[in-house]
Structures are given as structure tokens and as C-alpha cells.
Structure 1
């Protein structure tokens, strides 16, 4: 986690500090994945998305499902009631129709704008910055609820969230978990009766969020929210942080490479037979331990990076501008590691250096080692200044890594 940073005499708040106005270390120790945190007057969030922006998205941006959902009193409204074709040249039938959205809103429905971290520039930037600070994939939804209405019944999420109140007010009732630290395979719908029973009791938190307030909810905490006397708009920032189970799942991916674990069971063996499973389990656990003793941490890290760890997208690329600049690449141009791209530099043998990204590995001659390590330090570098290479070779290396979208031009 990073703290506030300053530049040119001006202190700039980090993305995390916009969500929680306490030091990052305090938040990590006292609240992260533990307990809710309500923060009053944390920030002004209208620069991220306001009511006029919502109208802009609905009426002029040709949104399509699933970027929009609507719900009323705990029930999701079928998309066919607010979508259709967009007229000549835009006949695709899943486009959001503003007049139908208006009808649903006038009837008390809650509007959900989904995936705004991929759609709306201020939230693209916030999600990217927050994801890099926390090291987790981040998603952003917006919820607009008419006065006196509630879109969803009490439920829990399998990921933590920051709630940022943008406009209006909304009353939140938060109850303790029925499943501590749930994962995606444990959605609340499978425990609806338990959720309802706990929700009928005294809440852990009963508070009205006003513009500028924020609320952190760890995964699993029950919550329901309803608008009061005005239109309520809030942002929900989802944090899909890995768990120890995520590491186990990465191990399972690797286990397919272990011959002892791929071995078949004896003929007629039935793992579903309680009396027969004990020796099978003992043999399997023994084989698993022996395999784990041979496993190197870097193997697990590599599998994580290439598989489950690849979910967090790096910063937007601006492909047209990058392609145009690449066509006239020169030694005086400045390049940097693409922000948010997770990479690892290794030297697999004395003659080569390799850059491993989530979906590919780029290998180059060992003479490039010093230049590669300089290029990937996160700062901008002039191609002509790369250590250990001639100017022409520096241009060749930069072009290769730009083409692989590991680097971006500092435009």
C-alpha cells in the first residue's frame, strides 16, 4: 500500500486515501478483511461520476447489457423491459433505451451501471490506481435509487467493497457474516434463510450515508441499503483480493504435472465409500506431501501469474497513438513499463534474459540484461540512454517490447 505523494509543491491523495481517510497501515491492520469502516466526509466524489454523467451514459453512449441492470424491491428486472434496437445502423437488440429506463426509474427501480472501470474515464483511472496500490483486481459499479426505494434485499458479497456516496442519502444496515470470509463458490443465495434470519436481528451498523461519506465492507458482511427522501447515487468498488484458497487452486493447477497424483486408483475403488476411502486418502496425502516437498515457490508464482493472477488488467494502452508513434520510433523517444502490468525478469541461462508477463514470455540475448532491468523499473527512459546497448540496438529492443505491449511510449 502506498501513502500520499506530493509533486510540484502539491500533495496528491492516493486512490486508497480517497476511499478511507486513515493511514494505509492502520486500515490494513484494523479493517482489511476484518471489520467494516464508516468514514464521514471522506472526500467529494462528484468528479468520478455524478447524476449528469449517469444521464450522459444512458442517453448518448449506446450502453448495452450487461453494463446495465435494474432491480426493484429485491428482484432483478428482465433486461427486455429496458433494452432494444437503436435504430438504423444500430439494430442490435440489447442496447439500453433511455425512454424505457425512464419508465423503470419513475416506477421506483434501482439502476445499476456495471463495469464502469472499463467504461468511464475517471473510474478507469481510479480503479487502475487503486488496483496498483493494493495489488488486487478492482471493479466499479454505480447504483442509482429513486427516493424511498430499495433495489436489493439483504445479501453479502464474496469480495470486499468500498461504498462511496456521491449524491443523495442512503440508509445502510450491516450485519455480521453468516459465512466468514466466503469465496465465489459460496454465494449468498445458497444461504438465503440464514441471511434473512440474521438480517432480522440487531445490525452491527445502522447509518445514513451522505455525499462524501464512504463505507468499507469486508467480504461476507450482510448489507442492505435504501434511499431516503432524494435520489441516491453511490459507487461500489469491488476488491477481488486473492485468498489462501487461491494459492491452493494454483497448486491444484500444478498438480496435474505430478505423475504420482495422476495415477489411477485400484480397480473397483470407490472414493464415495466411507469405509474404503481411508487408505486411498492416506496414499493420496502421502503422494501430495512428497510432491509438495519438490515444488519451488517460483513455480507456484509463475503459475499464479499466468493463470489466476492475470485477472487485473494493466493501464489502458491508447492503441492508435501508440501505433502511430511506434511507426516513427527514434532514439530520443522515452519509454516506460506499461503501468499495472505484472512481469518478472529472469535469466534462464547464461545467454538470455526473459520477461514473463501473464500471457507470454519474451526472451532476448543476455547483452540486453542491463537495459531490460532499467526499462522495467517503472520510470521513463530515453532509448538512447539505455545501458549496455548501442543506440541502434536500443531502438530494436524498445521496438520489440513496445510491440509486445510490455512497454509504452511516454507520449
Structure 2
């Protein structure tokens, strides 16, 4: 499953994005519900949560009305997968209780867990925008997880389920980084620095919101439920150049020599200032050194996470069989419903279903089965056959897919 920056930004062009928005101002792009249907679904969320030993209190967090739920209130000590050390792992029954109270769930570092989640990360990284790490935010109507804040990376918020209202404030911190200098700022500081409200944006399924690093925002679910995936794009900055230079000066004798001893005299202070100036000049020279620039260019070009690419059978010269049906049905053979409230209606003795491409004629049996399908978030052929044994499940799913009401997840 692949995606490019052009597909992520469509219908806006990549050229317009870089000219007008990148690192300059927020961007809200409206999209069709099917646009991000393959990124994540409720079915996939439940499947990931069922991998119980993969989660800890750090990778799966609960937040209720702006306050994190203490780990001991929804986790228990259990052996870690990689060590004998005890880790706090979520307990399903306790998580269920907090969800019933309206707690939001945050699933951290998920960008490599499914092909759909990885596709957006790969699109961002493939455009040279830095390492893209993803968190899933699941929230419920009228319960705010976080107060006004900024992030230390660019944010690409992909709305996959429900609706969420974002408050975009005028304030912007000047290129903050993940360091205690910035992380220690109080909420009182943020409330003063966020400024006036710039825009209130309603994100619906298929929408994209881009926020430059440091831009103040907060969000609140408007629909009964909301799921968005926030991709944080961590770009290379000047601090990374300093790291490269720090390694380079190990081989430069001028930086290994002791600095002038200080005895409180003006002459000693002058000598130290003069030496610091000489070292600064040498750093400027190193910044133009072709070998240093070659390392820096390669570092910037390769600045992305390594994910995927494993194919054990292919490495052994073996290709697993894959039917056309399996290839088109997506992972687990589930189809996402993107009908937008569509339902069959009766016209005389006939049944029809209004679709983006026109009216779809249905038999009475198909109409009943289609109404059941379109009332769900997703469906598989097996589930449809079980619920409506008399219906041609494969045929109906094919019709609904052709009418752009279902998409493979």
C-alpha cells in the first residue's frame, strides 16, 4: 500500500503547499470519506488492541478531560516481552471502564503497525519532510483530551472516523524542540501565548489538517466518536548539524587543545575570547568542507524511519500465491462503509439506492441486506452471509464497491 505527498494533499498541488503553507500557516483540506478509509478503521483498532502484550502504559494512554489517567488505574504489572522486567500493561476490563466514563485513548508510535498507517508516514518522509511518527487519538463527544498547546514537530492530522472541531490560535512558538526548556512551560504560559482564535475547523472523515511546528491548537470531538491519526514530522534542524560537526572536530587538533587558563585577569579573558573566535572561524570553514557537506546531505536525504520491506519467502526465492480477490479485499477482507447516510428507498414495486454515480437498482432481498451493510462502519463477506444467508454476499459487496459506497481496508 503506497501513498505520495501529491495524493495526501489532493486536490491541492504539492507546489502550492510548499509555496503557501509549509512552515508558514495551517492548512485544512476537505476530502471524501473514502480518501483515508484504508489508513485505519474501528476493526483495525480493535485488532491492534487485542495484541495485549504489545502495549504498555507508555504506548497506550488514557486521558479524561485534560488529565492523564494514572497508569495504576488501568494497568497491572506484567513481564515484558523482551526482558524479565515488570512493565505496566493495560487491562482490558479497566480500560473498558474508563472508556465508558468518556476517557480518550492515545495509541503511540503506531506508524509501522499496519500498511495503511505506514502509507501516510511514507508519503511524508518520501517528500523529504523528516521522520514521521504517528499517534492515534480516539475521543468521545464533549470530552476534551488536551488543553491548548503546541507540538515540537509539524502535525499532519488525518481524520479517519467521526468528526472533531479544532481551535487554531494565532500564537506560534518559534521552532520549539523536544527539550526541557520547552517541555517545562506551564499551561498558564500556553494560555497567554496562544493569542486570539484564528479559526475553528471541523474535521470530518477524509479531511486533512496541517499545522506547522509550534502552532497553538486544541480539539474537541463533535460526533459521538472521533478517530484521527496525528503524524508528527520531525525535520532536520541546525542542532543536527552541530552533532555532525561535533563528530568532525574530534579529528581537528585545534579543538582537542586545552583552552587558556583563567586567573581572573583581563589578559586571560582576552586569550579565551580570542581562542573561542578562532574555533568559531574553524567551524565556519568546516561548514564549507565538501566532506562535511557530503555527510550532511546524506543525513538529510536519509532522515526517515526504516519500516517494512520484509518478505521472507521472496528472500528464499519463493512467492506465496495470492488470488485477485485476496489482493483487492485488503487486510482481513474487510470493507469500509463510506456511504454517508445512504439507504435504499422504495419506488413503487422497485428498490433503488442513491449513489455518487447515480441510482442503483436492487432486489427486495438486496435492499434489506444493503440497508444492514450501510448501517455498519465496516463489513466482511462472511459477516454479510451470516446476517443475510439468502443474499448473494459477494455480488452485493461488488455492487456497493462499484458504486463507491465500500472501499477495501
TM range (shorter): 0.5 to 0.7
Q: 1:180 to 1:80 in 2, by over 3 A?
A: same
Q: Indicate yes or no: 2:211 matched with 1:220.
A: no
State the Cα distance separating 1:311 from its structure 2 match. Answer: 5.3
Alignment of 1:164-183 (within 5 A): 164-183=158-177
Which has the larger displacement, 160-169 or 71-80?
71-80
Distance in 1 of aligned mates of 2:176 and 2:267: 31
| 1:144 equivalenced with 2:138 (yes/no) | yes
Secondary structure in 1 aligned to 2:189? helix
Deviation string for 1:266-320 (max 9, x for gaps)? Answer: 22368xx9997565233212233135325523324326757x8765223423163
SS of the equivalent of 2:111 reads helix
**1:261 aligns to 2:255 (yes or no):** yes
Deviations 1:334-371 (A, max 9, x none): xxxxxxxxxxxxxxxxxxxxxxxxxxxxxxxxxxxxxx
Aligned to 2:193: 198
- The residue that corresponds to 1:63 in the other structure is 54
Structure of higher CA gyration radius: 2
Structure 2 contact 170–196 (Cα < 8 Å) conserved = no
The alignment partner of 1:233 has SS state of strand
Deviations 1:185-238 (A, max 9, x none): 253542543311134x42112122122221100000011111124111111011
Give, in angstroms, the shift of residue 181 of structure 1: 1.6
Contact 2:3 2:123 (8 Å CA) reproduced:
no
Give the structure 1 partner of residue 387 of structure 2: none
- Kindly indicate whether residue 42 of structure 2 is the aligned counterpart of residue 51 of structure 1: yes
Native 8 Å contact 2:163 2:204 kept in 1: yes
Q: 1:324 aligns with which of 316, 326, 330?
A: 316
What is the CA–CA distance in structure 2 between the aligned matches of 1:191 and 1:94, rounded to whole Å? 28
Q: In 1, Cα distance between the equivalents of 2:173 and 2:88?
A: 36
* Secondary structure at the counterpart of residue 118 of structure 2: helix
Structure 2 counterpart of 1:121, from 115, 125, 129: 115
Inter-CA distance 22–50: structure 2 relative to 1 (3 Å threshold): same
One of 201, 208, 231 as aligned partner of 1:237:
231
| Equivalent-residue separation in structure 2 for 1:179 and 1:153 (angstroms) | 16
Say if 1:86 and 1:181 are closer, same or farther in 2 by CA, change over 3 A: closer
Can you list the C-alpha shifts for 1:60-79, whole angstroms capped at 9, x where unaligned?
A: 45431232111122222222
Q: Separation in 2 of the partners of 1:41 and 1:293?
A: 49
Checking the alignment, whether the CA contact within 8 Å between 1:17 and 1:24 is kept in structure 2 is no
Structure 1 unaligned spans of 5+: 1-11, 327-411
* Counterparts of 2:30 and 2:295, CA distance in 1: 42
More displaced, 108-117 or 183-192?
A: 183-192
Q: Is the 8 A contact 1:58 1:97 kept in 2?
A: no
Identify which of 53, 76, 88 aligns with 1:84. Answer: 76
Please, which moves more after superposition, 74-83 or 26-35?
74-83
From the superposition, tell whether residues 281 and 33 of structure 1 become closer, same or farther in structure 2 (CA, over 3 Å): farther
Distance 1:170 1:244 in 2: 35
Instruction: Sort the Cα spacing of 1:171 and 1:319 in 2 relative to 1 into closer, same or farther, 3 A.
Output: same
> Of 230, 233, 243, which aligns to 1:249?
243
Match of 1:160 in 2: 154
TM-score of the aligned structures, taking structure 2 as reference length: 0.67
Shift of 1:183: 2.1
Tell me whether 1:94 sits opposite 2:85 in the alignment: no
Cα deviation, 1:368-398, whole Å, max 9, x if unaligned, reads xxxxxxxxxxxxxxxxxxxxxxxxxxxxxxx
- Deviations, residues 237-281 of structure 1 (Å, cap 9, x unaligned): 1111112343233223322332212222222368xx999756523
Asked if 2 retains the 8 angstrom alpha-carbon contact of 1:112 and 1:144, the reply is yes
Distance 2:69 2:247 in 1: 38
- Aligned partners of 1:85 and 1:323: how far apart in 2? 39
| Residue aligning to 1:38 | 28
Q: After the TM superposition, which of the residue ranges 261-270 and 64-73 deviates more from structure 2?
A: 261-270
RMSD value, Cα: 3.2
State the TM-score, normalizing by the size of structure 1.
Answer: 0.67
**Shift in alpha-carbon separation, 1:248–1:61, aligned structure 2, 3 A:** same
CA displacement at 1:321 relative to structure 2: 2.8
Instruction: Quickly say closer, same or farther: Cα 1:42–1:176, change in 2 above 3 A.
Output: farther
Distance 1:222 1:277, change over 3 A: farther
The equivalent of 1:296 in structure 2 is 289
